Amino acid sequence: MSELMTRPVPAPAVTLESKPFFDAAEQGKFLIKRCTACKEAHWYPRTICPFCHSDQTVWEESPGEGVVYSFSIMRKSPSGPYALAYVTLAEGPNVLTNVVDVAPEDLKIGMAVKVKLQPTEGGPPVPVFVPA
């Protein structure tokens, strides 16, 4: 079996709108945004709902469970192969991310995964996903 994939993640650019998300990540919580007007969850989190354009959006803690929608394993990488992926959260939205702690040959579309808040180089932790 190949080695499990990992990837050092750089610090994210944090904006005024995303600061609550990354502050919560520091506390070990994974948040998503939901609109109280149309009830839809969206990603990436923003102040104004991208579906109904209401500003009645609220933060919601998510267990971070989902399935792999698609992925690609980048082989041209000095730190070793890594997986870029979209994960479909149980709440609905697809999240661009890395899937880590999995061997390249074991990663499959449809695989159940769970969020892991991974430390970054000099910034707040960011959500990556691991096999559930």
Q: How many residues bind another protein (CB under 8 A)?
A: 52
Q: Does 22 bind another protein (CB under 8 A)?
A: yes
Q: Out of 2, 19, 26, 27, which residue is the one contacting another protein (CB under 8 A)?
A: 19
**Helix (H) / strand (E) containing 116:** strand 112-118
> 85 and 129 in contact (C-beta within 8 Å)?
yes
Q: Which residues, numbered 82-121, are part of the site for another protein (CB under 8 A)?
A: 82, 84-86, 89, 92-98, 104, 109, 120
117 phi, psi to nearest 5 deg: -90, 110
Residue 121: count of CB within 10 angstroms of its CB:
8
Specify the residue, 7 or 29, whose C-beta has the smaller distance to another protein: 7
The CA–CA distances, whole Å, from 5 to 80, 100, 119 equal 8, 5, 16
- Which spans of this chain sit near another protein (rule: CB under 8 A)? 7, 9-19, 22, 40-51, 53, 69-77, 82, 84-86, 89, 92-98, 104, 109, 120, 126, 128
